[in-house]
Chains A and B, each alone.
Chain A
Amino acid sequence: MKQEEINDKGRRDFLKTAAIATIATTACGSLACSCSSKKAAVAEKVRLLSPDGEIVEIDSVYLNHHENMAVLSKHEQRMGIPGKKFVMVVDLARCKNARKCVTACQKWHYRPEETEWLTVKLMKDSDKAAPYWFPKQCFHCDNPPCVKVCPVNATFKRQDGLVLIDNERCIGCKFCMAACPYSTRVFNWSDPEIPFDIKDLPYSAETGVPARVGTVEKCDFCPDRAREGLLPPCVEACPNGVFYFGDENEDTVSNGDETLSFSQLIKDRSAYRFQEELGTKPRVYYLPPKDRQFPVERGYENLPDKLKARFKDVMEESHLLEKK
Chain B
Amino acid sequence: MEENKKAINETEAVAMLHQFNEDLLPKKFGKIGKAWVALLCAVFLLGVYCYIIQLRRGLVITGMRDFVFWGIYISNFVFFVAISLVGSLVTAILYLLKVSWRAPLTRLSEIIAVAAIIFAGLIIIVDMGRPDRVVNMVLHGRIQSPIIWDVMVVSTYMVLSILLLYFPLLPGISFCRDHLKGIPKWQKRMYTILSLGWKNKPEQYKLVKKAITILSVMIIPVALCIHTVTSWLFASTYRPGWDSTNFGAYFVSGAFLVGSGGVVAGMYLLRRFNPSYEKYLTNTHFDRMGKLLVLLAVVYAYFSINEYLIPAYKMKGEEAHHLHELFTGYYAPMFWSVQFFGMILPIIVLLFKRGRRPFPMFIMAVLVIVCAWFKRYLIVIPSMSFLPVQEIPEAWKHYSPTLMEWAITGGSLAGALLVITFFIRYFPIISVWEVAEEKGVSTDIIYKHLHEGNEK
Contact = CB atoms under 8 A, between A and B. Distances in A.
Q: Are A and B subunits of one complex?
A: yes
Interface of A: 114-116, 119-122, 145, 148-154, 169-175, 177-179, 181, 183, 185-191, 213-216, 278, 309-311, 313-314
Given A145-B238, A189-B65, 13 more contacts: A119-B391, A151-B147, A169-B136, A171-B133, A178-B237, A183-B67, A188-B58, A191-B57, A191-B58, A214-B58, A215-B129, A278-B238, A310-B390
Which of A175, A311, A314: most chain B Cβ within 10 A? A175
B141 A177 contact: no
Contacts of B131: 171
Contact of A151 (B58, B145, B389): B145
Task: Classify chain B's interface size.
Answer: 35 or more
Contacts of A311: 390
B239 A152 contact: no
A153 B142 contact: yes
22 contacts: A149-B147, A151-B147, A152-B141, A152-B145, A169-B133, A169-B136, A170-B133, A171-B134, A171-B137, A172-B133, A174-B129, A178-B239, A179-B237, A188-B129, A191-B58, A213-B129, A214-B58, A214-B59, A214-B128, A214-B129, A215-B129, A310-B391
A173 B391 contact: no
Contact of B236 (A149, A213, A309): A149
Contacts of A119: 390-391
Contacts of B393: 114
A151 B146 CA distance: 7
Contacts of B145: 148-152, 175
Nearest to A190: B60
Contacts of A181: 237-239
Given A121-B391, A151-B141, A179 B238 contact: yes
A106 B295 CA distance: 57
Interface string B123-165: 0000111110110110111101111100100000000000000
A172 B127 CA distance: 8
B377 to A, nearest CB: 16
A191 B148 CA distance: 27
Contacts of A171: 128-131, 133-134, 136-137
A152 B58 contact: no
Nearest to B143: A151
Closest 6 CB pairs of A and B: A172-B129, A214-B129, A190-B60, A119-B391, A151-B147, A181-B238
B66 interface: yes
B8 interface: no
B60 A189 contact: yes
Which of B129, B141, B142: most chain A Cβ within 10 A? B129
Contacts of A154: 136, 140
Contacts of B134: 171
A186 B64 CA distance: 12
B70 interface: yes
A213 B390 contact: no
A12 B234 CA distance: 46
A186 B66 contact: yes
B394 interface: yes
B331 interface: no
Interface in B25-64: 57-60, 62, 64
Given A152-B142, A171-B137, A177 B238 contact: no
Given A116-B391, A175-B145, A214 B130 contact: yes
A86 to B, nearest CB: 23
Given A152-B141, A190-B60, A214-B58, A175 B66 contact: no
A145 B145 CA distance: 10
A186 B389 CA distance: 14
Contacts of A188: 58, 129
A74 to B, nearest CB: 11
B426 interface: no
A116 B390 CA distance: 11
Interface in B372-420: 384, 388-394
B69 interface: yes
Contact of A174 (B58, B69, B148, B390): B69
Interface in B222-248: 233-234, 236-239, 242
A191 to B, nearest CB: 6
A44 to B, nearest CB: 40
Given A151-B147, A170-B130, A172-B129, A115 B137 contact: no
Contacts of B127: 173-174
A121 B58 contact: no
A150 B236 CA distance: 12
Nearest to B232: A149
B147 A187 contact: no
Contact of B70 (A114, A178, A313, A314): A178
Contacts of B69: 174, 177-178, 187
